[in-house]
Chain A
């Protein structure tokens, strides 16, 4: 039986994925978005990731090119595009070296001063039900 149809949900499920590029597997919310039962608000401060994400989710998602944090300026540590390790946190080199190959994955290629945004003051989104 199709539970979604039987419970007669009147409103879409609003979903937010923060740092969407960091997920390598199929996200848990994927069937909700593709089935048009939910709308995805996809956040990633790394603009290199957006074209691939737009191709994947298309009109079922709104893409927001923000680093989410406290709304202040911070340093972004930009790492290789294929590793999704780019972060506002600085990679911990000795911890990375504990694991095979992580030193190269976590190599910072650029540091960039960026403006962060607070999730609770972004106009494009309403109530979120699944983050």
Chain B
């Protein structure tokens, strides 16, 4: 249901797929981007910031990006999958809005008490 990938803005390997190639492929198989994690920059040789090569200026290097299957059509997921996606969204992605969208779908199937959504919404938004 969810895939977190490391994508490169500047490819450091020969024949490595670039970010745009990865993004197009993920979309082609039904995944949509949800969030970035840890967008990394690195300083361009030979200039360093304060003699520390690990302190970047602005040059993008790589990032992790999360894709979600059928993000705009979560009705396609089973109830078990929706519960898992809600939990992953809350615990791993810090995305209460995505979790609540999953909970709403579960409620429409009468597999979740509406009070869970209201309590979670109050606690997390």
Q: Within 8 Å CB of A95, what residues of B?
A: 10-12
B2:A1 contact, CB within 8 angstroms: no
| A4 CB within 8 Å of chain B | yes
A7:B116 contact, CB within 8 angstroms: yes
Please measure, in the bound complex, the distance between the C-alpha atom of A8 and the C-alpha atom of B113, giving whole angstroms.
11
Give me the interface of A with B, judged by CB distance under 8 Å. Answer: 1, 3-4, 6-11, 13, 22, 25, 28-29, 31-32, 35, 37, 85, 87, 89-92, 95-102, 106, 129-131
Please measure, in the bound complex, the distance between the C-alpha atom of A32 and the C-alpha atom of B106, giving whole angstroms.
21
B88-125: CB near A (< 8 Å → 1, else 0) gives 10111100000100010010000010001001100100
Chain B: residues with Cβ within 8 Å of the partner, total of 45
Give me the interface of B with A, judged by CB distance under 8 Å. Answer: 1-4, 6, 10-16, 37-38, 42-48, 53, 59, 61, 64, 66, 80-81, 83-84, 86-88, 90-93, 99, 103, 106, 112, 116, 119-120, 123
Q: Within 8 Å CB of A130, what residues of B?
A: 1-4, 84, 88, 92
Interface Cβ pair total, 8 Å cutoff: 114
Question: Which residue of A is nearest B99, CB measured?
Answer: A3
Closest 3 CB pairs of A and B: A89-B13, A100-B53, A28-B92
Please measure, in the bound complex, the distance between the C-alpha atom of A128 and the C-alpha atom of B55, giving whole angstroms.
37
A100:B13 contact, CB within 8 angstroms: no
Q: Within 8 Å CB of B4, what residues of A?
A: 28, 130-131
A4:B10 contact, CB within 8 angstroms: no
Asked whether A9 and B87 contact (CB < 8 A) given A90-B14, A99-B42, the answer is yes
Please measure, in the bound complex, the distance between the C-alpha atom of A102 and the C-alpha atom of B11, giving whole angstroms.
12
